[in-house]
Structure 1
Amino acid sequence: MGTDTLTLTGWALAALAVLLAWPAPVLLSHARWPRRSPAAAMILWQAIGLAGGLSMIGSMLTWGLAPLGDNILSALERLVRIVFFNAPVDGLGFWHVFALSAAALLGAHLVFTLVLTYLRIRRQRSRHRELLLLLSSPAAEPGTVVISHSAPVAYCLPGGARSVTVLSDGLLELLKPEELKAVLTHENTHLLQRHHLLLWAFAAWKSALPWLPTSKLAQRSVNELIEMLADDAALRVVEEPVLIRSIALVGAGTEKEFHHTELANVELAEPASPEDSSERITTARLDRLIHPRPPLSTLGRSAVLALSLLLLAAPTALLLVPAL
């Protein structure tokens, strides 16, 4: 009976993993409503990622443990006795060992990639910060520096207390005071809301599972959503036409000119693929502002949050309830 229960749990988790690996992210990436409420969409993307990873590992784990006990806890207890105390391996076949090994390897791979991505990004940002010390000068605004370049450049470099917003001479000459205010608010919002942590997590996810549709679509969508979240913050301090002009002016020059400078050879954040280009994101941001639509209703946002909680609860319940 226990074997049947764990086997059925494994199949249920596998079905959920497949759902969250392909149809769900494809549908969400093509939906229009995330632009109306980017914060709710961001939560849903995180839920899809966490639930999908837990379902993949959980399905292989339960398949492998099926012959070892009546539930997850008893099966894990027996597995520990087998591994560390040479207990008998009755009923544990080749495919069960394979499933257990795959679950362990996948879990270790995800954690290792997360740590490796963090170290790589930290190293890149450290080098970038050293270059800024040599090539920039302080700006009038606190926590802001200016680099000498004709292209309109604006970005933020996270680093806790050492976080800094970087502007170029070309940007300062091109933008009016209100437009500059919009740009600074946008960049400071990235730092205040810790958007770099989201980028780190989704970049690691894509590095770990580059073949998975979820990881590619999620990173592309999250890159776009965090820009829209920062735009919403800017709209609270400037008028919409001002923000539109600032986005258009900055986007027109950054992609074509800045990437030839020595400073730009250091990755500003997480590496982006062609479909994650600044040009594509700029176009989406402008389209959202030029053709505004009302945000989701309270009921709509509540439904998205409820769905996110359900996605996280489903694999957890499938793993834990049979053990009770």
Structure 2
Amino acid sequence: MVIASALLAALAFALAWPVPIMLARATWPSRAPAVALVVWQAIAIAGVLSTIGALVTIGLSGIAPTVSKGLATLASAAMSGSAPPELGALHIFALCCAVLFAGHLLLSVLTTVVRTERERRRQHDLVALLSAPTSSVPGARVMEYAAPVAYCLPGAFRTATVLTDGLVKALSADELNAVISHERAHLTQQHHLLLLAFRAWRKALPWFPIATRASDAVGLLVEMRADDTARAEFSADPLVSAIITVATGGGGSPDVGVADATPQSAAPRVTRLLAQQHPLPSFAVVGIFAASLALVLVPPVLLLSA
């Protein structure tokens, strides 16, 4: 069990620091944003599992040679109202840290979901009050606001694509259609769920720079993924000009929506669209998917074998 604990701790450290930094600095994710999103999710899941697993194996190492026997011994002792005599202060501390860490993450996810959904309902009510559908922009609601803003507003029971009349006036028909296609891609591909998970991770660990880096990277990747969907329907030129217009217009979307273009995200998106990068070869995609799956499976396998 000691070996498994050391391996899980080493994996947790790698996934908490060097691996996310290398992925954030890599150039290939812009060529395959959907694949990169899978990798980020694998890193987050494996990182949490390996951290909890390392703490659990450290805590149980003092009372049994394997995790299964340790859990059985601990459960039996808890039912009898006594603690195993072999359970030292370090073991108790490790087990308490595992429970607190898991509970903290779970509570952060639950509170983020509740607060976000509550704010989305409020935003939907405001959008219904301050905007209206228009025949010139089918499928979207237009709000009176001078700045060019476009965002999608997800929700459990209703969704909305919101544009300002400043944007409608500033864009051509092709540019407007490209923007609508981009925003609808966010909704159909459920990007808000992915963003919600990483925002919860960032809120749970606000002092942890990797959580912020991961959240920012995922936010940019979902924008690139929506760009790819819009570019499949329209050429890159109207999409690029629309991104620049929105990014430099001085507007902003609600935090509970899927973000519109910002000066920080616009530059890499525009560069990518103009460069027309070649997608990753199929063998590379298969290899990355296989590595991501293996990464998620390593912590459970180490725990079961401990």
Candidates 34, 40, 47, aligned match of 1:52: 47
SS at match of 2:61: helix
Residue of structure 1 equivalent to 2:219: 223
After TM superposition, the score normalised by the length of structure 1 is: 0.90
Counterparts of 1:199 and 1:249 in 2: how far apart (Å)? 24
Residue of structure 2 equivalent to 1:210: 206
SS at match of 1:13: helix
Counterparts of 2:218 and 2:117 in 1: how far apart (Å)? 20
Extract unaligned runs of 5+ from structure 2: none
Q: Describe the superposition over 1:271-290 as per-residue Cα deviations: whole angstroms up to 9, x where unpaired.
A: x9xxx982111111001112
In the TM superposition, 1:18-97 aligns within 5 A as 18-97=13-92
Q: Describe the superposition over 1:237-272 as per-residue Cα deviations: whole angstroms up to 9, x where unpaired.
A: 11111211111112221xx2x35xxxx6x53438x9
Question: Shift of residue 321 of structure 1?
Answer: 2.2
What residue identity is the alignment partner of 2:127? Answer: L
SS at match of 2:276: coil
Counterparts of 1:79 and 1:143 in 2: how far apart (Å)? 58
Question: 1:51·1:311 contact (CA, 8 Å) conserved in 2?
Answer: yes
Residue of structure 1 equivalent to 2:114: 119
Shift in CA distance, 18/105, structure 1 to aligned 2, threshold 3 Å: same
Shift in CA distance, 142/77, structure 1 to aligned 2, threshold 3 Å: farther
Question: 2:116·2:256 contact (CA, 8 Å) conserved in 1?
Answer: no
Question: Shift of residue 33 of structure 1?
Answer: 0.4
Residue of structure 2 equivalent to 1:3: none
CA RMSD of aligned residues (A): 1.7
Counterparts of 2:73 and 2:261 in 1: how far apart (Å)? 50
Candidates 258, 272, 281, aligned match of 2:265: 281
Question: Shift of residue 291 of structure 1?
Answer: 1.9
Question: Shift of residue 87 of structure 1?
Answer: 4.3
- 2:234 maps to 1:238: yes
Question: 1:49·1:214 contact (CA, 8 Å) conserved in 2?
Answer: no
In the TM superposition, 1:129-208 aligns within 5 A as 129-140=124-135, 141=137, 143-208=139-204
Counterparts of 2:288 and 2:209 in 1: how far apart (Å)? 21
SS at match of 2:94: helix
Question: Shift of residue 142 of structure 1?
Answer: 5.1
Question: 1:20·1:214 contact (CA, 8 Å) conserved in 2?
Answer: no
Counterparts of 2:195 and 2:84 in 1: how far apart (Å)? 44
Question: Shift of residue 210 of structure 1?
Answer: 2.1
Extract unaligned runs of 5+ from structure 1: 1-5
Aligned residues: percent identity? 41
Shift in CA distance, 94/241, structure 1 to aligned 2, threshold 3 Å: same
Question: 1:34·1:40 contact (CA, 8 Å) conserved in 2?
Answer: yes
SS at match of 1:162: coil
Residue of structure 2 equivalent to 1:13: 8
Residue of structure 1 equivalent to 2:257: 269
Counterparts of 1:40 and 1:204 in 2: how far apart (Å)? 22
